[in-house]
Structure 1
Amino acid sequence: MCLLNSRLFGPCVSVCRWAHTKEKGKPLMLSPRTNKGMAFTLQERQILGIHGLLPPKVETQDTQAMRFQNNLKKMTDPLEKYIYLMGIQERNERLFYRVLMEDIEELMPIVYTPTVGLACTQYGHIFRRPKGLFISIRDRGHVRSILDNWPESNVAAVVVTDGERILGLGDLGVYGMGIPVGKLCLYTACAGIRPERCLPVVIDVGTDNETLLHDPLYMGLYQKRDRSQAYDDLIDEFMEAVVEKYGQDTLIQFEDFGNHNAFRFLRKYREKYCTFNDDIQGTASVALAGLLAAQRAVGKPITEHRVLFLGAGEAALGIANLIVMAMTESGVSQDEAQNKIWMYDKYGLLVKGRPQETDANQEAFVHDSPGDVQSFLDAVNTIKPTAIIGVAGAGRLFTHDVIKAMGTLNERPIIFALSNPTNKAECTAEDAYKLTDGRCLFASGSPFGPVTLSDGRVLTPGQGNNAYIFPGVALAVIVSGVRHISDTVFLEAAKTLAEQLTDKELAEGRLYPPLSNIREVSVQMAVKVSHQSCPPILSVPVFSLLINLLRLVQVLIVNSI
């Protein structure tokens, strides 16, 4: 294992930022990777052939950041903020990551959920400059040559989507590019992985979204989704081309594929490639971390919980399977663990004999009917769960009656409204806290502000954001050279995240550490996951050394981007 993996960190400690580029003059200023705007010194301007191409003043990056922050404060529309922020990324990458990392708690909801969802729906209308690689079904047989067109030759991580299930917004086709772009921004901001080592990709096989198919500004193929063998052949060719060009240990993260494809591709590729599905495994890990943190407040182990899901798709199944793994690790049988988990979808409870077919992935959580259940409220009152987890993407289905019922059944009810974006969340933090007199343990997928109760207490809701998981896991995978990513990696990541929450933060209502601490969380997670994946290599002294090395390298990367 190479602690300073060159594919991860690159020439981050070079004395001169431009020692590795041949660009001079105006082209250097037009490249976001080499441009630093008015911060070029007089000597740099003379040496690089840009003297006279800028106003004579030399600004510090602090001044540039102040200008950026002042402009951002004048904006009230989230989409306007997104456009401005991503415009900075297109012009001055170093400044972009500086301001993002310094104010991650404020800006993550702009570059990631929930605003990125809105940006995806408007992608063709706000388009300025292409980011990432676009591969269509018409490119079969030529995927490798398209990868060769990407200007970076030392890619360590790829995030790919086919745009079929973008957040809770459905099929957005090629407009889904905003998701891998946003994810990889957080690889850098949260884990210190250099941006040029990251490649966002959209696989365009069409869209079933009729609105987009009739939109003259849509930028993808005007055709229904290709669901034939040609689709599978294209994904196979893509996977093979990536590892052929960048190496067998290249991380490939799947994002926002439809349920059926997400599960089968995970099964198909996980033992052959270095890959994971964030919607299944990343979501599972962050949700489990919230439950592990909640058990500290509830005072009962996870094996004593009963969990009812609203939704039975890839997110619900991913979370459920990881909960089962955590329970079995604590000593209960797999059957016993599965029997503690129930799911409710648009047809009702997953029970034996219901008219609607269940997917093979759901079979472990299909139980005998507990009685007459006509609504989700009936399910709550019948099953009497200690925790309800919403991942249906269908809006405010944790009604006031549902929340009150959870408060009646449990001294400390656990309510996770994890659907994104904000308008798809199952309930608000304010409703969850106020309808349970502040007793509930709440987490959401999108951010909610602090809630002040009638008795003056202020509770800060936890955001079950996948950004707590995938950057740290990616850092661990790249640093340790892991070739295959097991579910144990995500179990370890969940436990590490829960351990980062302090008692003081738990008392404030949080189930996750503040996002402002996310870089330290990613370092701790990377080391713990690396230790779990390569235990013979990492003795305790080396374990401690690696933490400090990763912290040091993050500082070097911040200073060199």
Structure 2
Amino acid sequence: MSATLAGPALLHDPAFNRGSAFAAADRARLGIEGFLPPVADTLETQVARVHVQLGTLDNDLQKYLLLSDLQARNETLFYAVLMSDPAVFMPLVYTPTVGEACQKFDHVLRAARGMYLPITAKGRLKELLANWPQKDVRFIVVTDGERILGLGDLGVNGMGIPVGKLALYTVCAGVPPELTLPITLDVGTNTATLLEDPLYLGLRQHRVRGADYDAFIEEFVSAIMELYPKCCLQWEDFANINAVPILARYRDQTCTYNDDIQGTAAVAVAGIYGALRISGQKLTDQTFLFLGGGSAATGIAELISQAMVLEGATIEEARARNWLFDVNGLMVKSRTDIAGFQAPFAHDHAPLTSFVDAIKQIKPTGIVGVSTVPKLFNQAVIEAMAEINDRPIIFPYSNPTSRSECTAEEAYKWSGGRAIFASGSPFPPVTLGDKTFVPGQGNNVYIFPAMGMAVLATEATRVTEDMFIVAAQAVAEQVTQEDLDRGLIYPPQHDIRTASLHVAARVAERIFDNGLARVPRPDDIAAHIEALAYLPVYPAV
């Protein structure tokens, strides 16, 4: 701690502020005597008080704002609260509540967090980034706000996503918060309501495209690599037209990945591994039909294909078992609107414009919704899947809840309780007759925090595709038979930290095996990771 940090300034530093938990002797020594109620709290009592405060609020956005204020005031207490019950608090600080928070961001903004880099600062990005006080940044989550969850172009209002994701790095896998930096790149917005809103805080211009955009990204990546050479850069909620080429351009240059493409793919593959434990089938015998043909769909399809290759299929055979269906129908080779990244999954078939007809002709064992359009997995769709499969795999992954392709209740009811279900946003348990089903949430939170901890523990130089397959396997192997019997195909979120540290250890092993680590391999990788993991304990002052 800085020698000058004392007195009232100490109470306004979220990293060192203890609030009412400052001991009496410390208050006198630090010059804050009289600024606090006389009785010193414990951290546990403070956590209980926050629980009481949250209990008085009647909607999740208010709870999100209370927690955001807490993070800006007392970081240790913020993480202690979240870690006290991750299953309860993750939906408040991330999906689905963060979606509403981003939509209203410029109307509810309290304390600023992270860094905003506007394209008007092009040529000075390194100078701006150098203003960040922490000089050893290991993790950056960055967005340009164009495709926030399933909500579209929210401009700088998308900052809630990097902030929320990095909080989960800490809550779920113990990545120390001081090593993280949320960033929003402001290149404008094409959303008219934002441009016309007097409270909007971003650049009032339409989005920059083409060479100027690419040069801006190049300058940003170069500045990050120079200032923070051990940093892992996570791209988040970029539109397909930028997400795919950015990942392709930089994945072999630096330690980077796109969570929407690779994290989503890994959690989907983890869910499939779990589903196959219920159905008793082989991965190479599965056929998947995706509702949506963007980067999330192709990312999942490609990782499934790579996982099938590990089980004996050729890459051509594996890709032939993954089909895409978008707004223009089934992606077939005769279509003229197929992008390069979609081409491996455009197959020879007659054109189809009905999703139900595609199910009846292709006969998939699983359908995956990444369309961001709600209710497209309707009764006819679910019944068609149930007619051709004893245990149909139904994964409506679009976020937030308002964008989900179907609800858990709909999937279970229309399939006669036979669906193997997981969704992107949480749904409550469903009771049909005398059986209660616990819906799984295919949330990237099972993947990206663990990936972050694995990178931290190894100082990895790259993030590779096989690391995501290992992560998927590590998630699935933690699901117990009792969980499977209830229809749950992901580990329970209340024990997400244990699950994440297990995944991190497995991924770290692969990093060491692949020679991508910058630190010596420890004798006990799991113990090494456990020792690095952050715990919410007040730092010395």
Matched, 1:151 2:133: yes
Shift of 1:559: 2.4
- Partner Cα distance (1:340, 1:382) in 2: 13
Give the alignment of 1:147-546 within 5 angstroms. Answer: 147-247=129-229, 249-354=230-335, 356-369=336-349, 371=350, 373-454=352-433, 456-535=434-513, 545-546=524-525
- Partner Cα distance (2:452, 2:2) in 1: 26
- Partner Cα distance (1:351, 1:530) in 2: 39
Are the aligned partners of 2:290 and 2:367 in contact in 1 as well (CA < 8 Å)? yes
Distance 1:496 1:20, change over 3 A: farther
Are the aligned partners of 2:474 and 2:502 in contact in 1 as well (CA < 8 Å)? yes
Offset from partner CA, 1:61-102 (integer Å, 9 cap, x none): 222111110111122211111111111111111111001011
Are the aligned partners of 1:294 and 1:441 in contact in 2 as well (CA < 8 Å)? yes
The alignment partner of 1:66 has SS state of helix
- Partner Cα distance (1:548, 1:534) in 2: 15
Are the aligned partners of 2:16 and 2:538 in contact in 1 as well (CA < 8 Å)? no
Offset from partner CA, 1:375-413 (integer Å, 9 cap, x none): 111111111110000000011100011111111111100
Q: Which amino acid aligns with 2:364?
A: P
Q: For structure 2, which runs of at least 5 residues remain unmatched after alignment?
A: none
Offset from partner CA, 1:262-307 (integer Å, 9 cap, x none): 1101110011111000000000000000001111111111100010
- Partner Cα distance (1:21, 1:199) in 2: 25
The alignment partner of 2:219 has SS state of helix
Shift of 1:544: 7.3
Offset from partner CA, 1:426-450 (integer Å, 9 cap, x none): 0000011111121110000000011
Are the aligned partners of 1:137 and 1:230 in contact in 2 as well (CA < 8 Å)? no
Q: Which amino acid aligns with 2:484?
A: L
Distance 1:440 1:332, change over 3 A: same
Are the aligned partners of 1:527 and 1:543 in contact in 2 as well (CA < 8 Å)? no
Total equivalences in the alignment: 535
Q: Which amino acid aligns with 1:112?
A: Y
Are the aligned partners of 1:414 and 1:441 in contact in 2 as well (CA < 8 Å)? yes
Matched, 1:30 2:9: no
Are the aligned partners of 1:531 and 1:543 in contact in 2 as well (CA < 8 Å)? no
Shift of 1:558: 2.7
Q: Say what the alpha-carbon RMSD is for the aligned residues.
A: 1.5
Distance 1:21 1:152, change over 3 A: farther
- Partner Cα distance (1:474, 1:21) in 2: 32
- Partner Cα distance (1:107, 1:546) in 2: 29
Q: 2:25 aligns with which of 37, 43, 57?
A: 43
- Partner Cα distance (1:367, 1:270) in 2: 28
The alignment partner of 2:278 has SS state of helix
Q: Which amino acid aligns with 1:344?
A: F
The alignment partner of 2:524 has SS state of helix
Distance 1:60 1:560, change over 3 A: closer
Shift of 1:551: 2.6
- Partner Cα distance (2:224, 2:324) in 1: 37
Q: Which amino acid aligns with 1:367?
A: H
Q: Which amino acid aligns with 1:282?
A: G
- Partner Cα distance (1:269, 1:465) in 2: 25
Shift of 1:536: 8.1
Are the aligned partners of 2:273 and 2:476 in contact in 1 as well (CA < 8 Å)? yes
Of stretches 147-156 and 176-185 in structure 1, the one that deviates more from structure 2 is 147-156
The alignment partner of 1:237 has SS state of helix
Are the aligned partners of 1:192 and 1:558 in contact in 2 as well (CA < 8 Å)? no
Give the alignment of 1:54-203 within 5 angstroms. Answer: 54-203=36-185
Q: Which amino acid aligns with 1:50?
A: I
Shift of 1:546: 2.3
Are the aligned partners of 2:505 and 2:526 in contact in 1 as well (CA < 8 Å)? yes
Q: Which amino acid aligns with 1:251?
A: C
Are the aligned partners of 1:158 and 1:251 in contact in 2 as well (CA < 8 Å)? yes
- Partner Cα distance (2:285, 2:492) in 1: 28
Are the aligned partners of 2:332 and 2:351 in contact in 1 as well (CA < 8 Å)? no
Q: Normalization by structure 1: what TM-score?
A: 0.93
Shift of 1:21: 5.5
The alignment partner of 1:170 has SS state of coil
Q: Which amino acid aligns with 1:77?
A: N
Q: Normalization by structure 2: what TM-score?
A: 0.97
* 4+ long deviations beyond 3 Å: 19-22
The alignment partner of 2:513 has SS state of coil
Question: Percent identical across equivalent pairs?
Answer: 46
